Chains A and B, each alone.
Chain A
Amino acid sequence: MTNRDEKAAVLQGTVDLMVMQTLAVLGPSHGYAIAGRLDQVSRGALQLGMGTLYPGLMRLEQRGWVRAKWGVTDNNRRARFYSLTPAGRRALETEKADWDRLALIMRALLDQMP
C-alpha cells in the first residue's frame, strides 16, 4: 500500500506527460484504455490509480489541452473518449523537451564517479 502511494507520488508530476503522450500515440481513447496502455508499456510497473488518472484528465481538460467526447467502445459500451487539442500537442512538446533536459541532467549527475 505504502509502496504504491510512494510510486504514485513520484509519478504525480509526470502524469500529465504520460497521459498526453499516450493520447498522442493511441489517438482518442477512454480512461481505461489509457491506464491499460501505460500498464502495458511499463510492463506492469505503472499502475495508474483511478484517483490519479481521472482528476488528471479533468485537469488537462480544464487547461484546454485535451478534449473529451462521449462515444461507443468496440464492445458497444458508452465511454468518454479523450483526445489531444492543438494546444495540448504544443504543451506535450514542451513537457517532453523539459523532461529530456531533466533526464540528461540527472544522468550526468548520477554518473559522477565517487
Chain B
Amino acid sequence: MTAFNHLWGMARESLARLRGTFHRQRDDRELQEELQLHLELAAEEARRRGVPPDIAGRYAMIIAGASPVMDALRDQRGLPWLEDLAQDVRFAIRALRKQPGFTTVAIVTLALGIGANTATFSVVHSVLLQPLPYRDSARLVRVWETVPGPEIGNGKGPAFKYDAMDVADALAVSSRSDTIAQLAGYSLVRPTAIVHGAAIRMEGFSVSGGFFDMLGVQPLLGRTFSARQAGTGYERVLVLGHNAWHRLGGDPQVLGRVLTFSADPLGASGGGAIGRNVAYTVIGVMPRNFQFPRDTAQFWIPRALTALANVRPLRLATLARLAGDATPGAAAAELEAIQRHRRGSSAAAPAQPRFELIPLQEEVTGPVRPALLVLISAVAVVLLIACVNMANLLLARSESRHREMAVRAAIGAGRGRLVRQLFTESLLLSGLGGVAGTGLAYLGVRLFRALGTTLGRADLGSTAVFPRLSEVAIDWTVLGYALVLSIGTGLLFGLVPAFRGPRPEQRNFLRDATTSPQTRVKSTLVVLETALAIVLLVGGGLLIHSFVKLATVDVGFDASHLLTFQVTVPAVERPDQQRTFAETLVERLRSLPGVSGAAYARQLPLVQLRDSITLTTRRNGVEVVLGEAPDIRFVSTDYLTTLGARIVSGRGFRETDHEGQRGAVIINEALAQRDFLGGDPIGQVVYLGTQRQLPFEIVGVVGNIRQQGLDRAPRPQYFIDIRQVPTDGTFRAPPLFPLGAYYCVRTSADMAVLVSQIRTVIREMQAQATLDNVATMEQILSNSITRPWMYAVLLGIFAAVALCLAAIGLYGVMAYTVTQRTREIGIRMALGADRRRVVALVLRHSAALTILGLVIGLAGAIFTTRYLTGLLFGLTPLDPITYVVAASMFALVAMIASYLPARHATNVDPMIALRNE
C-alpha cells in the first residue's frame, strides 16, 4: 500500500512535469514573486540581527530571472530535455523556413530516395517475404516429374518435365507415403455457364478432395468440400471465388443457388455424366485473397482422384503438404520408391522418372526473385546518392552558418548542444522527406500494379504475370520500414556536417579554391555519387535497350491490325461439327467491312498450348525419324496468310487441301534447316508419328514464327491444314480444340466496331455462342513482355532519379566553388581574362570530377551488371552501345549542371570581388 503510494507519487510527478513542459501552471513571474518574498524576509531578518545584507545581487538576479534557483525551478517544473528538444525543433523549423530553396531541394531529394525505397520494399515484402496466405504455407510443395525421353529411331528423345503427376501415382502416394501428409490434384476447367439465359465462359478448377483441407483457408460464406465428400465422387457442388461471386451479383444469399453449365465441366473422362445443362449447387464463397492456383480462378468443384484413375493415364497438377519435418528431397526419394514399387520395376533401371518437390512459395515467386533483388539493390543505391547529396548540401550550408554557430557558441551553447541542433535539423528534414516519400510510395505501388496488369488470361501462360501482384500493398511493416529509413538517412547525412565543424581557413591570395579541404570533401562526394549514378544509368539502360530489342524482335508475322478472339459454342460438341462451325464463321467474317482476312486455329502464337508429334520420312529407302519431335500446329487454310507469315519457298495451303486429299504440310525454316539441310524439302513425304496410312507432302517452307514467347528462339515446327485431320476416328489425335478454337481477323476497320459486328454475327449463328478473350495481337504480344516492361520502366525511373540527383550534386558543388573563387576570378578578370577563359576554368574543374566519376562508375557497372544477365535479351551486360550512351548522357547533363554556375562566374564584377575582402 505504501509502496503504491510512493510509486503513484512518482507517476504524478512525471505527468505533472510532462504537462508543465507544454502548459505552464506556474509562470516565471509567480516563481519570482515567491523567491522575492523569501529574499525580502531574509534581508529583514538580517537587518534585525544587525548583519549587513549581502543579498542584493541575488535579488537582482532573481528579478532578471537568471538565477541558478530560477533555473532549478524551471528544470523541476518541466522536463528539461524535452524542452530543449522542442526548442531545437522550433529553431530548426525557423532555420529551414529561412532557406526555402535549400529546404525544397532537400525534401524532394529525400522524398525520392525514401519513396522509391519504401515502394520497392513493399513489393519485396508482399511478394517475397510474406508467406503465402495458406495455413503453414512453408510446408506446401509442388510435385514435378521428369520422365526420360522415349527411344526414338536414331536416338533418344529429350526428357520431359511435367508439373503434374500421374493420377495413379498420386493415389498410391496419398495412401502410403510417410513424408507427405496431404496431397491434392487440380486441373483447369473452362465450362460455359448459362446465367439469366446468357452464356458466360467461366474458368475454374476441378480439385481433389483434400484441396481445401490442405490449404486451410476458411470460406467467406458457407463451406468448402472435404476429402470425404469429394471422395465419393460425383456430388455437384461448387465453391465460388470472390471475383466471380461479385460478378454474379455478390448476393449474400447465394448459398444453395444453382449454377447451370451447358455441359459437365468434368466431361466424361472426369467421371461426370454426359448431358446438357448440368446444375451445380453453390455451397461456399472464398475470401478475396484466395486465388489458388491463380487469380483467374472463378470456382472450384470436387473431382475424385479415384474416378480418374480408372479412365486412362492422366496427369494432374499436384500440390502436397510435407509431413512433420520431412524435407522435399526425402519426400521426392520416397515418391520415386513408391512409384517403382507400384510399377514393379527395379531400382537399377536406367530410365527412371525423377521427382522434384519445389516449395510452393519458391515456385510462385522464384521467377521474379532475381529481378526484385536487382530492383531493391538499385533503389538502395538511389537512396545512397540522395544521402551523399544531402551531406553535400548540409556541408555547404554549415559553412554559410559559420557566423551563426560562432555566436551561439559565444553565448554559451556547448558543442554538444550545437551538434544536437544540427542533428535535429537533419532528422527534421529526413522526417519531412519520409512523410513526402511515403506519399510517393503509395503512388509508386499504384504505378507498380498498373505496370504489372496483364490480360489475366490463363491460356497465355503465367510467364507474363507478376505473381502476388494483388497482394502488393503498404502495410504497417512497410510504414515502419519507411520510418527506420527516414531516421537512418537523417543520422547518416547528418553525421558529416555535425562532426565536421567549421574550421578557419587560411586566407591565401589567388589560392586555388579547388584544393581547399572543404572542397576536397565535396568533390569526393560528387565523384562518389557520379559513379553510383553511372552504375544505375548503365543498368537501367541495359534493361531498356533489352526491352526495345524484345519489343521489336521479328515475330515472323504482322501483328498490327490483327484482332484475335475465341468463340465457344456449347451446343457444338463433335469435332466435325466444331470445324464446320469455324469454317462457316470465318466465311462470314470475311464479308465484314474492312476485313481482309480471317482464320481459325487450334492455338495462336503465344497461347501456351504446345503439341509435338515426331515426323518420319523415308531416305534412300530407309525410314528415318526426324530428330526431336517438332511442334505441330493445326490451322485453317488461310491462317498463315491472315497472320502475314512469309512463305519462303513452295506454296501456302489451298482450298483444295481438304480432307480426303493428299496431305499437305508446311514446315518452318528452323525445321528445314535442322532436318533438310542436304536438299530441297519441297515434295518430300513425311508421316505423323507412326501413322503410315496418312502420308503428308511438304508443300512449302514458312518463315519462323515466335510461338512460345518473344524471347524464345523459334523451334522446329510444321503446319497442317485442320480440314485434313480425319475426324472419323481413323487418325489418332488429341481433341481438336482443347482450349476452344482461336480466331484471328485482319482488318483496316476500327477494332471496337469490328468486335460488335462479330458479336452480332456469332449471335445470329448460335444463340448460346460466347465471344471471349478478345484482344488485338499487339496486346497479346505486349502482354507477353509485361515483366521485362516493368523492370525496364522501374530501373529506368531509378536511373533517371539518380541522374537528376547527381546533377543537382554537381551543380551545388560547382556553384559553391564559384562563390569561393569569386575573388580569384575577379582578379583574373581584372588582369584581362575574358569570359571564355573563366567559363573554361570552371568547366575544367567539373570535367575533372565528372570524368573521374565516369571512369569509376563504368568500372563499377562492368563489375555489377553481371547480375542483370538473366534479365537481358539479345545483349550482354557489357553491351558497348549502352555504356557509350549512358556515359554520353551523363556527360551532357553534367555539362549543363556545371555550365550554369560557370556562366554565373563571368558575371563577377572585378571591383566588387576585390572590395569584398
Q: What are 24 sample pairs from A and B whose C-beta atoms fall under 8 A apart? A: A32-B37, A32-B41, A49-B69, A50-B38, A50-B39, A51-B68, A51-B69, A51-B72, A54-B31, A54-B34, A58-B26, A61-B16, A62-B12, A62-B16, A62-B20, A62-B76, A63-B12, A63-B13, A64-B8, A64-B12, A78-B37, A91-B2, A91-B6, A94-B5
Asked if B35 and A50 sit within 8 Å, CB to CB, the answer is: yes
Q: Mark A30-74, 1 if CB is under 8 A from B, else 0.
A: 111001100000000000011100110011011111000000000
- A79 touches B (CB below 8 Å): yes
Instruction: Pick from A31, A91, A94: contact of B34, CB below 8 A.
Output: A31
- A61 cross-chain contacts in B, Cβ below 8 A: 16
Instruction: Pick from B37, B40, B72: contact of A55, CB below 8 A.
Output: B72
- A7 touches B (CB below 8 Å): no
Instruction: Pick from A32, A62, A79, A94: contact of B42, CB below 8 A.
Output: A32
- A87 touches B (CB below 8 Å): yes
- Provide the bound-state CA to CA distance between A58 and B69, in Å: 12
- From residue 105 to 139 of chain B, which have CB atoms closer than 8 A to chain A? none
- A77 touches B (CB below 8 Å): yes
- B9 touches A (CB below 8 Å): yes
- Provide the bound-state CA to CA distance between A62 and B75, in Å: 13
| Closest CB in chain B relative to A6 CB, distance in Å | 17
- B33 touches A (CB below 8 Å): yes
| Closest CB in chain B relative to A84 CB, distance in Å | 13
- A36 cross-chain contacts in B, Cβ below 8 A: 45
Q: Mark A20-31, 1 if CB is under 8 A from B, else 0.
A: 000000000011
With contacts A54-B35, A91-B9 known, what are 15 further pairs, Cβ within 8 A? A32-B37, A32-B41, A51-B69, A54-B72, A55-B72, A58-B77, A59-B13, A62-B17, A62-B20, A63-B13, A64-B9, A77-B37, A77-B40, A79-B34, A94-B6
- Provide the bound-state CA to CA distance between A77 and B36, in Å: 11
- B311 touches A (CB below 8 Å): no
- Provide the bound-state CA to CA distance between A73 and B76, in Å: 26
Smallest Cβ-Cβ distance to B41: which chain A residue = A32
Q: Mark B13-55, 1 if CB is under 8 A from A, else 0.
A: 1001100100000100001011101111110010000000000
How big is chain B's contact interface, by range? 20 to 34
Smallest Cβ-Cβ distance to A54: which chain B residue = B73
Asked if B69 and A91 sit within 8 Å, CB to CB, the answer is: no
- A62 cross-chain contacts in B, Cβ below 8 A: 12-13, 16-17, 20, 76
- B351 touches A (CB below 8 Å): no
- B10 touches A (CB below 8 Å): yes
Instruction: Pick from A30, A55, A80, A90: contact of B73, CB below 8 A.
Output: A55
How big is chain A's contact interface, by range? 20 to 34
- A31 cross-chain contacts in B, Cβ below 8 A: 34, 37-38
Question: Given contacts A31-B34, A50-B69, A80-B34, are A55 and B75 in contact (CB under 8 A)?
Answer: yes
- B12 cross-chain contacts in A, Cβ below 8 A: 62-64
- From residue 59 to 114 of chain A, which have CB atoms closer than 8 A to chain B? 59, 61-65, 77-80, 87, 90-91, 93-94
- B26 cross-chain contacts in A, Cβ below 8 A: 58
Instruction: Pick from B6, B45, B73: contact of A58, CB below 8 A.
Output: B73
| Closest CB in chain B relative to A16 CB, distance in Å | 10
- A93 cross-chain contacts in B, Cβ below 8 A: 2
| Closest CB in chain B relative to A85 CB, distance in Å | 10
- B45 cross-chain contacts in A, Cβ below 8 A: 36
- B17 cross-chain contacts in A, Cβ below 8 A: 62
- Provide the bound-state CA to CA distance between A90 and B3, in Å: 10
| Closest CB in chain B relative to A30 CB, distance in Å | 7
- B42 cross-chain contacts in A, Cβ below 8 A: 32
- Give the interface centre of A58, A61, A65 by most chain B CB atoms within 10 Å: A58
Q: Which 8 A-B pairs have the closest CB atoms?
A: A63-B9, A62-B16, A55-B76, A62-B13, A94-B2, A32-B41, A51-B69, A50-B69
Smallest Cβ-Cβ distance to B76: which chain A residue = A55
- B9 cross-chain contacts in A, Cβ below 8 A: 63-65, 87, 91
- Provide the bound-state CA to CA distance between A80 and B32, in Å: 12
Asked if A79 and B37 sit within 8 Å, CB to CB, the answer is: yes
- A94 cross-chain contacts in B, Cβ below 8 A: 2, 5-6
Smallest Cβ-Cβ distance to B4: which chain A residue = A90
- Provide the bound-state CA to CA distance between A79 and B73, in Å: 17
- Provide the bound-state CA to CA distance between A55 and B75, in Å: 8
